Structure 1
Amino acid sequence: MASGALTQAGGILKRGSWGAPIFLLVVMAMMTLPMPSVLLDVLFTFNIALALVVLLVSVYTMRPLEFAIFPTILLVATLLRLALNVASTRVVLLRGHEGGDAAGKVIQSFGEVVIGGNYTVGLVVFAILMIINFVVVTKGAGRISEVSARFTLDAMPGKQMSIDADLNAGVINQDEAKIRREEVTQEADFYGSMDGASKFVRGDAVAGILILIINIVGGLGIGMAQYNLGFSEALKVYALLTIGDGLVAQIPSLLLSTAAAIIVTRVNSSQDLGNQVMSQMFGSPQALGISALILGIMGAIPGMPHFAFLGLASICGGGAYWIHKKRESKGISNKDDQVKEKQMEELAQQRESEFKELGWEDVQPVDAIGLEVGYRLIPLVDKQQGGQLLGRIKGVRKKLSQELGFLMPSVHIRDNLDLLPNAYRITLMGVAIDEAEIHADRELAINPGQVFGKINGIECKDPAFGLDAAWIEANQRDQAQTMGYTVVDASTVVATHINQVMLKHSHELLGFEEVQKLLENLQKASPKLVENLVPNPLPLSKLHKVLQNLLQESVPIRDIRTIAEALAEVAPKSQDADALTSAARVSLSRMIVQTIYGVGHELPVITLQPELEQLLLQAVQQALNSGGNASDAVIEPGLAEKLQRSVSDAAQKQELQGNPAVLLVSAGIRPMLSRFLRFSVTGLNVLSYNEVPDNKQITITASVGQ
C-alpha cells in the first residue's frame, strides 16, 4: 500500500500538480515568517512584472474567452500582493528605524525617488491612485462584470435552443453544435467568475487603505515608544516607508484593475485591442479633420499654449489626410460607401452559399435513439441548472449494455418547440415511438397495485408501465410513501421510459457495426472460433439476424462465445435463421430458464394438447415444403382466435398463482408460436422441450386444446 501511495505521489509530481500547493505554502510562509529585504525586492519586482504581463495579454487578446484563466490569475496576484504587504509591514515596523533601505531597495526607491522623499506628496499621490483604482476602475469593472454575468446566464437557454434550431435546420453539424454549446457554457462560467474576481480587486483596494493607516499608526507608536524617536522624525521615516510600500502594491493593483476592466469591456472580435481602436476610431478621416480644426482655433487664441495646441492640430490634420489618401487608394470615398461595400460582401457570401453545390455532408444521418423535450423540460438536461437526466440516461445505457451484451447507442437530446412545454418524445431511427407529458417541478407517485388511500395531485398514467399515478408536490413525498405509493422524480420517470423503449426495441438497435465489434472482442479470446464461423460458413448478415431474433425474444447475447459455438456446429448444415436461432437458444437454455424461473428446480408450464400440436406441426411442415420457413405457417382464423384466447386465459391464471407464464411446445412449432403470441399475450415465454435443462422438473398446470 505504501509503495502504491509513493508511486501515485510520484505521478502527481511528474504531472506538475505540485505548483498550486507550493504556491499556497509560500504565501503562508510570507505571511508568517520574516523575510530578508533582498527577497522582498525580488518578489515586489516579480509582482510588478506579473501585472504588466497580465495587462498586455488582456490588450492583445482577441476574445475574452481566450484569456479564460484571468479570474484565477487575478486571485493569485491578489493573494501574492497581500502576502507581500504583510511581509513588508513586518520589516518596516521591525527595522524601519534603521533607515530608508531597511525594507529593501524597491520600497526605498518608491518612497524617495517616485514621491521625492516628501511624505505629504506621497500621501496625496497614494490617495489619487486609490481614488482612481477604487472609485473609477474597480467600481466600473465590477458593475460591468455583474451585468455581463447576469445577462449571459439569462441568455443561456435561448442560445442553446438557437444552436439546436440551427442543428435541426441543417445549418450546422453535430461537431459544430458541440463546439458552440461548449462556448456558451464557457462564456457563462467566465463572466460568472469575473463577477466574483472583481470583488477580489475591490477588497484589495480597501485593504490597501487600511494597511496604510495601520502601518503609519503602528510605525509612529513603535518609533516613539521603543526607539525614542521624535514625532516628526518617526513620522518622516515610517510615513515614507509605508507610502513607498503602499505605492509598490497599488501600482500592480491598478494595472490588474485596468486589465480586468479591459477584459470585461471587450466585445468578441477577430482583432486585438490596438487593431480595434485603429479600425473603429481612426477608420474615418472626418473625426480627425474636425478635431484638427478645433485644436487649431484654440491654439490661435492669445494666451493659449500655441506649441501644444497647434502641434496636435498638425498631427491630427496629417493623420486625417493620410487616412483619406489610404481610403481613396482602396476606392472607398466615405463611411457610407464602406458600409455599403461591407453589405455587398455579405450579400455575395450569402449568394455563394445559396448556390454552393450540395454534398453528402449536408445529409444528416438519423439518430438511433433520440429524446425531444419541450422548453420547460430543458432544466432537466442542463447540468448548469442542476439537471440529472443526462446522468440517469447514461446509467440506463450502462445497465442495458451489461445485461444485453452489446453497447447501447447514445441518446441524442434536443429541444422541440413543436411539443407542449411539459412534453417529451422518444424517437427510434428518426420516427416517434412514444411521448408523454411530465412536470419537472413535481414528483410522480405511482400506484403499484395496493395503496392505502388517495393522494392529491395531477392524475395521470406512468409513461413507462401504464400504471395509475399522480404528480404531487415535493413536500407530499413522505405522505405518499407512507400510503404505499412509489415516488420518483421527473428525471427518473423519463429515464425509466427510455429504458423500457430501448429494452423493447433492442433488436433494432443492434446493427452491423455492433455485431462486428462483438466478433472483434470474441476473436481476442477465441480466434479460431471466429475464423471458422464468419464469413464462412455463416455470413455476417445471418449472424446479425440470429442475434436480432434472440434479442427480440428477450434473450441476452452477452454469452457470445456459446452462441458462436452453437452456430458453428449448425451453420454448415442449414442457413435458415429460425433453425440457427433455435440452436443458439438450446445452447443458452440454462440462462433462459434461470432468467424466467430463477434457481428453482420445478418448472410450472402450459402445454398444448397433442391434437392441436399435431395440427400446428402440419401447418409448419406445409410452409417448409412450399419453400418458406416455420414462421410462414398459416393458421385457420377461427383456430387462431381461439388459440390466442385460450393461451391468454391460461397465462393469466398462471400469473395469479405467482408463476411465470410459460408455454412449452415442441421445437418445430416454437418459432411460429413465439411470433404469433408475442403481441397478443403480454409477458408470455414460449419454450421448446429441448430448451429445458435435464436437472429441471416440468409441472403441467394447464393444457390448451382446439
Structure 2
Amino acid sequence: MKTTLARLAVPIGVVGIILLLVVPVPAVLLDMLIIVNILLGLVVLLTTMFVKKPLDFSVFPSLLLVATLFRLGLNVASTRLVLGDGYAGQVIASFGQVAVGGSIIIGAVIFLILVVIQFVVVTKGAERVAEVGARFTLDAMPGKQMAIDADLNAGLITDTQARERRAEVSAEADFYGAMDGASKFVKGDAIAGIIIIIINLVGGIGIGMIQRGMSITDAMSTYSLLTIGDGLVTQIPALLMAVSTGMIVTRSNAESDIGATASAQLTQSRNALMIAGGAALLMALIPGMPILPFVVAGASLLLVSQRIKASEAREQARQAAAVVAERAPVRSDTPEDLIESMRVHALEILLASDLVDLVSGAQDDLLARVRALRRKIAIDLGVVVPPVRTRDSVELPSATYVIRIAGVEAGRGLAPSGKVLALGDNLEGLPGTATVEPVFGLAGKWVPSEMRHSAEMAGATVIDRVSVLVTHLSSIVTGNAARLLTREDVRVLTDGVKQVNPAAVDDLIPGMLSLAEVQRVLQGLLMEQIPINDLSRIYEALSLRAKASTDPEGLIEAARQGLGPALAAQYLDEGLLRVIMIEPGLEQSLLEGMRASEQGTQIMLEPARIDAILGSLKASLATVEASGLTAVLVCAPALRPAIHRLVSAQTGGLPVLSYLEVTSANVAIETVGVVRGTETISA
C-alpha cells in the first residue's frame, strides 16, 4: 500500500497542479499550498547539501520542472484571488504586512533584491556550470568506458561491476544533460515572477479604481501590498530551488556530504586560520570599528587553529609509532625462520615505504585486487597463479614498486601517493609529473587526486594507483605464465582432470609421458599465450602423439591441433580471421632449409635472406596495423614451430598458426598480406 501511494503521489500532484491553473481555490487551501511550496524548496535545498554525489539525487531535473510548474500554478491561483476578492489568504497578507512592515517601497526593494540574487547571481552561474558540465561529461564518456574495459580485462572488476559502472557513466551523462536543460526552468521562473508581479500591480490598481470605485491611493495601498506579498511568497521558494540547482551542479563526487567536506577542507590549513584570526584582532584596533565582534571572531579562529595543531601532533605520533612497530623485526635464529628468510618466492611485490597505504585492508586495496587478478588469470589461461608476497622495502626510491618473479626483478613502476594517473593527449594544462604507462607505453601524467574531475573533464582516462600496479602485474604474470607453471601445479591440474576424465589421464601419465614432459608441453603452449584450461583435449591429443614419438616439439604441435578451433577463435575480429601468407616458393625454400637441433627445428638460410624475409614480414605487418587491424601469420604445419622461433622476437609476439589450425576453425579468412623473400604485397 505504501509503495502504491509513493508511486501515485507525483502523478496525482501534477494533475492537481493542472487543476490549480483553471479551478479557483479558496484562500485557506491556498495558504496550505503556499506553505507546502516553501517547505518543498527547503527540503530540496537541504537534500542537495547532504547527498554525496549528484547522481544520488538524479530525480532533481524532473523535480525542478514539477516545482516550477507548482509555483506558477500558485501564482495563477493567488492572482485570481487578489484581483477578484482583494484578499489572497493569511500567508500573503502576513508577508505584505509583517515581512516588509506594510511599506510598499520596502517590499518592492526586497522583492527586486531577491530577483537580482536569483536571476543574475545564482541562476546565471548555475546555468553556465550545467552547460560546461554537460559538455565535458559527454566528452569524457569514451575515456571512462575505456577505463572500465581496461579494468575488466585486467581482472580488477567483475562483469557485474563493469555493467554497473557503465550504467553509472551513462546515467551521469544523462543527468548533466538534463541539468543543462533544467537550469533554463529556473531562469524562466525568475523572468515569469517579474512579469506576474507587474501584471498583478497594474491589474489590481485598475480593478480597484474602475470596478470598486477606490481612489488611486487606496487601490495602490491595497493591491500593491497584496502583490508584493504574493511576489515574496513565491520568490522565496524559487530562490531556494535556484540555490539547490547551483548546489547540485557544482558538487563533485565525494565520500561525504557537503557539510562534512567543507568543514574538513576549511580546517585543513592551520596557518590560514591563524592569519585570519590575527587579521580580525588587528581590525578591532581600527578606530570606530566594533571591538567585541572582531575580538570574538579572531579568538575563535585562533582557538580552532590550536586545536588543529594538537590534533596533527597526535596523528603524527600515532603514525610514527605504527611505522616503528612495522619495521621492528622480530629477530629469531631458529632453522625454520632462517629457511623462510632464504626461500625465493615465485611472485613478489616490493613497495617503497611511502606506498604501504596501498595495503590498507579495505575491500578494494591492493591485496583484494591481486586476489581478483589471480582468479581471472586462472579462468582465462588455466594457470593457478602462486600467492603474491607483498612487503615494503626501504631500499626502493620514493613512490616506486618492483615486481619480482623467482627473486628476479621483472618490472618496475611508480605509484606516487595522493595522485592518479591521467592518460590522454591534452594534459598540458594539468599540474603533475609526466610519465609513461608501464604496460602499453602510453604518455601520461601523475596529477593530484583532487584534480581527477578536471582531468576527466579534459577528456583524459584517469586510473588510480592500485589499478596501475595491478595492470602491470597482470601483464607480467601473463607474459611469464610458463615460468610460473611448476611441476606441483601440473600435478594438481592433472588430479583435477582425473576427477572428470580419468581415461585421458590414465592412458597418458605415467605410462606414456612423465609429469615433467607434460609440464614442458604445457609451458610451450603458455609461451605462445595459449590457454591450457581445456586439459582433457590436450591430454587426449598427447596420448595419440606419444604412441609415435615423445619429441617435445611434436607433442606441443599435437596439443595445439587437439585444441583446434580455440586457437584461431581468440584472434577473430567480428567472425573474420585476417592472415598474412607466405609466398609458396619461399615456403618451399624454408622447408628445405629446416634442420633439427636440441632446441627444436631451425631454419638455416643465408643471413641476408633471413633479414629480407623478416623485413618483408615487418612491412606487411606495419601496413595491417596502420589500418587499425590485427592479423596472424599462417604457414605449413611442419614449418610452424621454426617460423615462430624466427619471427616472435622480431615482431613483438606475432601469432603463428598452421593451415590445419586455421581451417579447423571453419571461419571466414581474409588475406591481408603476402610475405616474399625480397618484398611484401599487401592485400
TM-score, with normalisation over the residues of structure 1?
0.49
Partner of 1:609: 583
1:428 aligned to 2:405?
yes
Partner of 1:162: 328
**Offset of 1:528 from its aligned partner?**
1.7
Whether the aligned pair in 1 keeps the contact of 2:571 and 2:577 (CA below 8 Å) is: no
AA aligned opposite 1:611: G
Superposed CA offset, 1:242-293 (max 9, x none): xxxxxxxxxxxxxxxxxxxxxxxxxxxxxxxxxxxxxxxxxxxxxxxxxxxx
2:613 partner SS: helix
* Alignment partners' CA distance in 2, 1:500 and 1:637: 33
Partner of 1:697: 668
1:546 aligned to 2:500?
no
1:502 partner SS: helix
Question: Structure 1 pair 411/657, CA: closer, same or farther in 2 (3 Å)?
Answer: same
**Offset of 1:629 from its aligned partner?**
6.0
1:425 partner SS: strand
Partner of 1:382: 360
Report 1:431-510 matches (<5 A): 431-447=408-424, 455-510=430-485
* Alignment partners' CA distance in 2, 1:545 and 1:578: 10
AA aligned opposite 2:525: L
* Alignment partners' CA distance in 2, 1:443 and 1:431: 28
Whether the aligned pair in 2 keeps the contact of 1:652 and 1:661 (CA below 8 Å) is: no
Q: Quick one: which of 397, 402, 405 aligns to 2:382?
A: 405
Question: Structure 1 pair 357/585, CA: closer, same or farther in 2 (3 Å)?
Answer: closer
1:523 aligned to 2:498?
yes
AA aligned opposite 2:397: L
1:418 aligned to 2:392?
no
* Alignment partners' CA distance in 1, 2:650 and 2:601: 16
**Offset of 1:479 from its aligned partner?**
2.6
Partner of 2:347: 369
Identical pairs, percent: 28
AA aligned opposite 2:415: I
Whether the aligned pair in 2 keeps the contact of 1:651 and 1:684 (CA below 8 Å) is: no
Question: Structure 1 pair 660/150, CA: closer, same or farther in 2 (3 Å)?
Answer: closer
Superposed CA offset, 1:123-171 (max 9, x none): xxxxxxxxxxxxxxxxxxxxxxxx99996664222222334xx6xxxx5
Whether the aligned pair in 1 keeps the contact of 2:577 and 2:631 (CA below 8 Å) is: no
* Alignment partners' CA distance in 2, 1:677 and 1:159: 53
Whether the aligned pair in 1 keeps the contact of 2:419 and 2:446 (CA below 8 Å) is: yes
* Alignment partners' CA distance in 2, 1:547 and 1:399: 19
* Alignment partners' CA distance in 2, 1:427 and 1:484: 34
**Offset of 1:648 from its aligned partner?**
1.6
* Alignment partners' CA distance in 1, 2:606 and 2:408: 34
Partner of 1:344: none
1:532 partner SS: helix
Question: Structure 1 pair 661/611, CA: closer, same or farther in 2 (3 Å)?
Answer: same
- For the pair shown, the structure with the greater C-alpha radius of gyration is 1
2:412 partner SS: strand
Report 1:642-657 matches (<5 A): 642-657=612-627
1:671 partner SS: helix
AA aligned opposite 2:439: A
Whether the aligned pair in 2 keeps the contact of 1:381 and 1:387 (CA below 8 Å) is: no
**Offset of 1:590 from its aligned partner?**
1.3
Whether the aligned pair in 1 keeps the contact of 2:350 and 2:401 (CA below 8 Å) is: yes
**Offset of 1:425 from its aligned partner?**
0.7
Question: Structure 1 pair 460/149, CA: closer, same or farther in 2 (3 Å)?
Answer: closer
Partner of 1:618: 592
* Alignment partners' CA distance in 2, 1:660 and 1:539: 38
* Count of residue pairs brought into register by the alignment: 365
* Alignment partners' CA distance in 1, 2:428 and 2:606: 48
Question: Structure 1 pair 427/357, CA: closer, same or farther in 2 (3 Å)?
Answer: closer
Partner of 1:640: 610
**Offset of 1:406 from its aligned partner?**
2.2
Question: Structure 1 pair 478/361, CA: closer, same or farther in 2 (3 Å)?
Answer: closer
* Alignment partners' CA distance in 2, 1:480 and 1:541: 52
AA aligned opposite 1:373: L
**Offset of 1:658 from its aligned partner?**
3.2
Partner of 2:190: none
Whether the aligned pair in 1 keeps the contact of 2:383 and 2:481 (CA below 8 Å) is: no
* Alignment partners' CA distance in 2, 1:561 and 1:360: 41
* Alignment partners' CA distance in 2, 1:584 and 1:608: 24
* Alignment partners' CA distance in 2, 1:507 and 1:632: 22
AA aligned opposite 2:480: H
Question: Structure 1 pair 485/582, CA: closer, same or farther in 2 (3 Å)?
Answer: same
Question: Structure 1 pair 483/590, CA: closer, same or farther in 2 (3 Å)?
Answer: farther
Superposed CA offset, 1:663-696 (max 9, x none): 1111111111112221211251111101014422
Report 1:105-254 matches (<5 A): 154-163=320-329, 171=331
2:390 partner SS: strand
Question: Structure 1 pair 358/402, CA: closer, same or farther in 2 (3 Å)?
Answer: closer
Partner of 2:132: none
* Alignment partners' CA distance in 1, 2:543 and 2:320: 61
Partner of 1:679: 649
AA aligned opposite 2:637: A
Question: Structure 1 pair 476/660, CA: closer, same or farther in 2 (3 Å)?
Answer: same
Question: Structure 1 pair 360/571, CA: closer, same or farther in 2 (3 Å)?
Answer: farther
* Alignment partners' CA distance in 2, 1:464 and 1:521: 33
**Offset of 1:454 from its aligned partner?**
5.4
2:593 partner SS: helix
**Offset of 1:364 from its aligned partner?**
2.4
Whether the aligned pair in 2 keeps the contact of 1:661 and 1:683 (CA below 8 Å) is: no
Whether the aligned pair in 2 keeps the contact of 1:458 and 1:472 (CA below 8 Å) is: yes
**Offset of 1:374 from its aligned partner?**
0.7
AA aligned opposite 2:644: S
Aligned-residue CA RMSD (Å)? 2.7
* Alignment partners' CA distance in 2, 1:565 and 1:469: 48
**Offset of 1:453 from its aligned partner?**
6.8
**Offset of 1:633 from its aligned partner?**
3.6
AA aligned opposite 1:556: P
Partner of 1:594: 569
* Alignment partners' CA distance in 1, 2:316 and 2:448: 30
Q: Quick one: which of 369, 386, 392 aligns to 1:392?
A: 369
Whether the aligned pair in 2 keeps the contact of 1:442 and 1:472 (CA below 8 Å) is: yes
* Alignment partners' CA distance in 1, 2:328 and 2:519: 40
Quick check: 454-463 or 559-568, which moved more?
Answer: 454-463
* Alignment partners' CA distance in 1, 2:383 and 2:318: 41
Q: Name stretches of at least 5 consecutive residues in structure 1 with no aligned partner.
A: 1-146, 173-352
Question: Structure 1 pair 452/419, CA: closer, same or farther in 2 (3 Å)?
Answer: closer
* Alignment partners' CA distance in 2, 1:671 and 1:527: 30
Superposed CA offset, 1:179-223 (max 9, x none): xxxxxxxxxxxxxxxxxxxxxxxxxxxxxxxxxxxxxxxxxxxxx
Q: Name stretches of at least 5 consecutive residues in structure 2 with no aligned partner.
A: 1-312, 678-683
**Offset of 1:634 from its aligned partner?**
3.0
2:529 partner SS: coil
